Amino acid sequence: MKITSAEFIISNSDVSKCPKEPLPEYAFIGRSNVGKSSLINMLTGRNSLAKTSGRPGKTQLINHFKINSNWFLVDLPGYGYARVSKKTKETFQKFITDYFEQRDQLACAFVLVDIRLEALKIDLEFITYLGESGVPFCIVFTKADKISKGKAGQHVAAYKKALLANNWEEMPPYFITSSTDGTGREKLLEFIDEVNKQIFKQL
């Protein structure tokens, strides 16, 4: 898939105010500081579509970007640590679950995980929540350029082991990416393109 246009549409914290167009949506979410904004910018080929920051918890709203005029990329707040008040955190965590449970246009969620780290409890818990809620999702391992291919393979295998030990029958679909060198970009966009084709074929 070639991205020819990427347009910011709206930011809000109320799912009912999200775009009404019946276009497929792909939501990106992960622990704070996992490299989500950098990955979104890499995928779209835009240097500042999503705001990057060294301060975790920068994204605190549901951000919709229309891509190629026929699908939405949705940038969601990070779960877990963020430098915001407890009340604020509870508020945006609530609209995260509202989004996943109420948004009919959601085609797939991409859960971002730092490939350099061992499987973290908070990531496993969020993945389990999506699975139990019946939300289609893939795991996107980020920052692959900061680790050797051998180590990356070991960490993915460890993740698979942790999930299988947590009552998963198999490893969910996954991608290995780097926003620095573009690793995984084509495969991720091809996946979105294929899902879009299936959706539009049914309309």
- Spatial CA neighbour of 140 closest among 16, 26, 61: 26
Identify the pLDDT of residue 57: 45
- The whole-angstrom separation of Cα 48 and Cα 118 is 30
Helix (H, G, I), strand (E, B) or coil at 79: strand
For 62-121, the pLDDT digits (tens) are 999 999 999 999 999 887 655 556 665 565 578 888 999 999 999 999 999 999 998 888
Identify the pLDDT of residue 118: 84
Q: Is the dihedral of CA 188, 189, 192, 197 positive or negative?
A: negative
Regions of the chain short of the pLDDT cut 50: 53-58
The tokens describing 75, both together, are 């940038």
- The whole-angstrom separation of Cα 178 and Cα 94 is 30
What are the boundaries of each domain within the chain?
6-202
Helix H or strand E encompassing 62: strand 62-67
Identify the pLDDT of residue 80: 66
What kind of architecture, by CATH, is found in domain 6-202? Answer: 3-Layer(aba) Sandwich (3.40)
Identify the pLDDT of residue 54: 45
Helix (H, G, I), strand (E, B) or coil at 66: strand
Helix H or strand E encompassing 141: strand 137-142
Identify the pLDDT of residue 115: 95
- The whole-angstrom separation of Cα 95 and Cα 12 is 10
Identify the pLDDT of residue 55: 46
Query: What is residue 145's DSSP assignment?
Result: G
Identify the pLDDT of residue 59: 56
- The whole-angstrom separation of Cα 56 and Cα 78 is 8
Identify the pLDDT of residue 63: 92
Burial 73-83 (b: 16+ CB within 10 A, else e): bbbbbbbbebe
